[in-house]
Amino acid sequence: MRLVFLGAPGAGKGTQAKRLEADRGWTVVATGDLLRAAIAQNTPLGQQAHAYIQRGELVPDPIVNQIVAERLATLDSFILDGYPRNLTQAEMLASMLTKPLDAVIYFELGEDALIKRLGGRRVCPQCQAVYHITANPSKAGERCERCGAMLITREDDRPETIRKRFQVFHEQTAPLIEYYQQRGLLRIVDADATPDEVYQRLLSVL
């Protein structure tokens, strides 16, 4: 299965992608996670990407396209989380695929709920597990229940950066909804429910 997960920051793309990967074995390719790993390792790519992520802007297309092309080259089934993010990336994706996409899932959620999700998110800097202080708290309190590391707030989850990310989503990413609708690939999932309920909705559209 070849899927794209689309949605505003905080819509739950990563949460649902990891769950589907665990369930079905389709590899998640999450550009945000790959970029953050490069930043943590201080690679040249990470150094280039860091300032863009801190400002809540998109990292330049050539950098992201290259990361995705390298990953997809070895995968038959995948879930793309956070890519494509604009029309140029969507065209690039179409040109790199040897088999067509099966579906593009748009996780739909209003801005008030998005802000609550991003404001309460805590992440593990070591194993990348994602929690929420009320909706999905770690059983180990302020530590990761999987690996024991201290949980942190993502640096782009500050209110001013969240505002910029929403603006970027509306201006650059939202046009992809119509782009994929016109190609008959779009499936909409109402993401305003518990993670379990959203997962059931996802399975039913698949």
**Catalytic residue at 146?**
no
User: Cβ distance 158 to 72 under 8 Å?
Assistant: no
Q: Which of 124, 121, 148, 151 is nearest to 134 (CA)?
A: 121
Binding ligand AP5 (rule: CB under 6 A), the pick from 1, 135, 149, 152 is 135
Binding ligand AP5 (rule: CB under 6 A), the pick from 2, 6, 15, 186 is 15
Applying the rule CB under 6 A, the residues between 59 and 98 that interact with ligand AP5 are: 59, 64, 82-83, 85, 89
Asked if 136 interacts with ligand AP5 (CB under 6 A), we say: yes
Applying the rule CB under 6 A, the residues between 18 and 47 that interact with ligand AP5 are: 31-32, 35
* Single-letter amino acid, residue 125: P
Residues with Cβ within 8 Å of 146's Cβ and at least 6 positions away in sequence, in order, are 124, 127, 129
Candidates 13, 18, 19, 187; catalytic one: 13
Please give the structure tokens belonging to residue 12. 């739950």
Q: How far is CA 111 from CA 8, 52, 56, 114, in A?
A: 9, 22, 16, 5
**Catalytic residue at 154?**
yes
Nearest CB to ligand AP5, comparing residues 12 and 78: 12
If phi > 0 it is left, if psi is from -120 to 50 it is alpha, else beta; for residue 20 that is: alpha
**Catalytic residue at 55?**
no
Positions in the binding site for ligand AP5 (CB under 6 A)? 7, 9-15, 31-32, 35, 52-53, 56-59, 64, 82-83, 85, 89, 117, 120-121, 130-132, 135-136, 156, 165, 193-195, 198
Catalytic site positions: 13, 85, 121, 154, 165
